[in-house]
Structure 1
Amino acid sequence: MNRPLRIALVAHPRHPIAEPFKGGMEAHSFHLARGLMARGHDVTLFAAGDSDPAFTIDPLLPVHYDRDYPWENTNPHPELYTVLDKAFGAARHRIFSGHYDIVHNNSLHRFVMQEAKRTGLPCVTSLHVPPFDAIHGIVRDTLSDTHHVTVTSARQNISWWGQAIPPESLVVHNGIDMACWPFSASGGDHAIWCGRITRNKGPHLAIAAAKRANISLRLFGYLEDRAYFDQEIAPELGEGITYGGVLEGADLSDEMQQAALLLFTPCWDEPFGLIAVEAMASGLPVASFDQGAVREVIGEESGRYAAPEDVSGLSVAIREALDINRSIPRLRAEAAFSHETMIDRYEVIYGQVMNASQRRSRKENPYETLML
């Protein structure tokens, strides 16, 4: 990118864009904002008002919505959609005011994409989730030369579009700041599991596989589903199985460096798997269910795999993964998933939609071209 840009970065306001991160979407928005700012871009973060004050924040809501309108499993609070429609309905005019060179949309709300189509202003929407009915049609109908979407993996692109992938849907792998995840050439004799504590992340299966493989396991992550934790995780704690809560990035990095390997147990069509990249950067091989984009991210040399929800197979994968040299996953993370590589790719796409918007503007205003 030849010049600094004014960027509106729209985040999903379920949680604050602040450490400790509740999930991958929050981590992505945080590190993307910080990385763009480090390159000299002027970033305004449209997010929950209780996000990290180090950013310039234009609040979508005064505080993150999960505090007052919790989303339990698949059941949103009955007032939530009204609250979000009101918030995004007011914010879309600020986001697409013409003040910004580019809008980078990390939210899931339809109003942002619809406003991108209506105005023809340059916009990139990053999709971090598999397709679901409430949003799939909106994404499809708003694609244009001035509104592109990015997905985090080739597998996610197929999930969204099948074999008819539109040219406006582009793969940008999530990236991490390698400096935040120092490499450790040796670790302990225990496994680690990190993520949201909810059924579709599979921590109960990680525990079962660790016990079968006779390896201790430390779990960390946000308690998204308290009932699930109380019924299926808490009774398994003890005798080498521990839960350490939610950790800040530096503390989680320390835990990564001390572990022998990562257990990664998605029970859904995982679009990417940021925690696997962070673990690999730290030097951890991965034992994982072969689900979604997992193999695309981890690769053949950095991990070992089991069929989805196959506890016995995962216990075998654990034992095999322990033999992987820790430099192998680190080198893969450096080569494919650095923060710099991700932002380079985004800047190219920004340029594409900005140029298309300028061409459209000149076509609609031919006198502007003559005056130039």
Structure 2
Amino acid sequence: MRILVVSVVYNSTPPIGYGGIQRVVHSLVEALVEFGHEVTLVAPPRSRCSGRTVEVAAYDPDRPWVRIRREGDLLSEEPLYETLVELTRREQFDVIHDWSFQNLFPVRHPDVLPAVISTCIPPPPGFSRSNLVASSKAHAELCGEGTRYVHYGLPLDDWEYTLSKSDELVHIAKIARYKAQHLAIMAARRSGRKLALAGNVEEPLYYNALVRPLLWMSRHVSYLGEISGTEDCLREAAALVQTPRWFDAFPLVILEALASATPVIAFAEGGVPEQVIHGETGFLCHDLSSLTEAFERLPEIDPQKCRDDAERRFSSRRMAEDYLDLYRRAMAGDNW
């Protein structure tokens, strides 16, 4: 199968620094190539894959990823569109898989190629796409009737893990109100567990007014700052803690923890309940009280079960197989 994969334009694929969705796209492409398909990846400069990469020179991979709060924060996807127009004029493909935010090519030229469109964020008002694929069942329900979903996967053969854990939990996320690090700190204080926070400060006011004072008062809680990758931090952690206060569609860091044989303690928001098996690979929580209880019950979780579940449900090969089925449906004329 000749597959044209379009990545997002805000970083290279795989990413330089932050960029969870770019890691997902890269893992998918590598698995598709491993299965013997001809894959062309269209992405910003310094992107790479085992297939062929077409770089869109207009985008700067050194531009830091920022939270998109308003229309002015969006990059124009017109250069990406122009590259796709030229590429499809001179070459033939069987299907296009578009991960971009605006999906300009499949929207403007729906009859040129069978298309599958993936989304990684809650839909904005009025958002509608044919052959839309979400990242979780909860995400698909939010996107609207008929939306399919494919859970993300990781290249588990390359993912190192250990069953020997430290006594310190870790919270990995941007420091921002919607990530609610203050609740994780309070749970650590109540339970007496060690906790490390990792992530860049996205909201300085939240960090200085709430997180920083709690750190000063909590001798068992530390702040690591921004980290370059999650693997080393997760491998020996007693657990990953996630406290989202928004619809988190399908956070990749939770899969990375399970792949590391590391239990997960998380608020049951968005697609998180589809990732964590309560009482087996971690605990699903709803408030500070249940979060504190989960910290105290952590010894009940067997790290081996976390890795086993990752291998059973969250490999990049399984993700590629699920998408290949949707490619075939789109090529056969199926629309959803």
> Could you tell me whether the CA contact under 8 Å between 1:13 and 1:61 is conserved in 2?
no
1:159 and 2:138 matched: no
Choose between structure 1 and 2: higher helix proportion. Answer: 1
Deviation at 1:30, TM superposition (A): 2.0
Deviation at 1:298, TM superposition (A): 0.8
> Could you tell me whether the CA contact under 8 Å between 2:2 and 2:38 is conserved in 1?
yes
Deviates more, 1:94-103 or 1:169-178: 94-103
For 1:179 and 1:246, locate their aligned partners in 2 and report how far apart those are by CA, in whole Å. 26
- Matched with 2:117 is 125
Q: How does 1:1-372 map to 2 (within 5 A)?
A: 5-52=1-48, 56-59=53-56, 61-64=58-61, 66-67=63-64, 71-72=66-67, 74-76=69-71, 78=72, 80-81=73-74, 83-94=75-86, 96-97=88-89, 99-117=92-110, 119-133=111-125, 136-137=127-128, 139=129, 143=130, 148-161=131-144, 165-166=145-146, 169-237=147-215, 239-249=219-229, 252-300=230-278, 301-307=280-286, 310-356=287-333
**Which amino acid in structure 2 is aligned with residue 132 of structure 1?**
P
**Which amino acid in structure 1 is aligned with residue 318 of structure 2?**
T
For 2:177 and 2:105, locate their aligned partners in 1 and report how far apart those are by CA, in whole Å. 30
For 1:96 and 1:285, locate their aligned partners in 2 and report how far apart those are by CA, in whole Å. 45
How many residue pairs align between the two structures?
Answer: 329
Identity of aligned residues (%): 26
List per-residue Cα deviations over 1:75-112 (Å, max 9, x = no partner).
35x3x55x514324423413543532221111111413
For 1:124 and 1:216, locate their aligned partners in 2 and report how far apart those are by CA, in whole Å. 44
Deviation at 1:268, TM superposition (A): 1.1
Alignment partner of 2:60: what SS? coil
For 1:228 and 1:95, locate their aligned partners in 2 and report how far apart those are by CA, in whole Å. 45
Structure 2: stretches of 5+ with no match in the other structure = none
Deviation at 1:116, TM superposition (A): 4.6
Deviation at 1:274, TM superposition (A): 1.6
> Could you tell me whether the CA contact under 8 Å between 2:215 and 2:221 is conserved in 1?
yes
Q: State the TM-score, normalized to the length of structure 2.
A: 0.87
Deviation at 1:59, TM superposition (A): 1.1
Aligned-pair Cα RMSD in Å: 2.6
Q: State the TM-score, normalized to the length of structure 1.
A: 0.79
TM-aligned CA distance change 1:105 to 1:241, over 3 Å: same
TM-aligned CA distance change 1:327 to 1:89, over 3 Å: closer
For 2:241 and 2:94, locate their aligned partners in 1 and report how far apart those are by CA, in whole Å. 41
> Could you tell me whether the CA contact under 8 Å between 1:19 and 1:248 is conserved in 2?
no
Alignment partner of 1:304: what SS? strand
TM-aligned CA distance change 1:31 to 1:267, over 3 Å: same
For 2:49 and 2:331, locate their aligned partners in 1 and report how far apart those are by CA, in whole Å. 29
Alignment partner of 1:107: what SS? coil
Deviation at 1:6, TM superposition (A): 2.8
> Could you tell me whether the CA contact under 8 Å between 1:47 and 1:61 is conserved in 2?
no
Alignment partner of 1:31: what SS? helix
TM-aligned CA distance change 1:236 to 1:17, over 3 Å: farther
> Which protein shows a greater Rg?
1
**Which amino acid in structure 1 is aligned with residue 319 of structure 2?**
M
For 2:76 and 2:68, locate their aligned partners in 1 and report how far apart those are by CA, in whole Å. 18
For 2:12 and 2:223, locate their aligned partners in 1 and report how far apart those are by CA, in whole Å. 23
For 2:58 and 2:176, locate their aligned partners in 1 and report how far apart those are by CA, in whole Å. 26
TM-aligned CA distance change 1:261 to 1:71, over 3 Å: closer
Deviates more, 1:9-18 or 1:222-231: 222-231
Deviation at 1:260, TM superposition (A): 0.7
List per-residue Cα deviations over 1:38-76 (Å, max 9, x = no partner).
333333322222434876232163314844xx7456135
Deviation at 1:348, TM superposition (A): 1.6
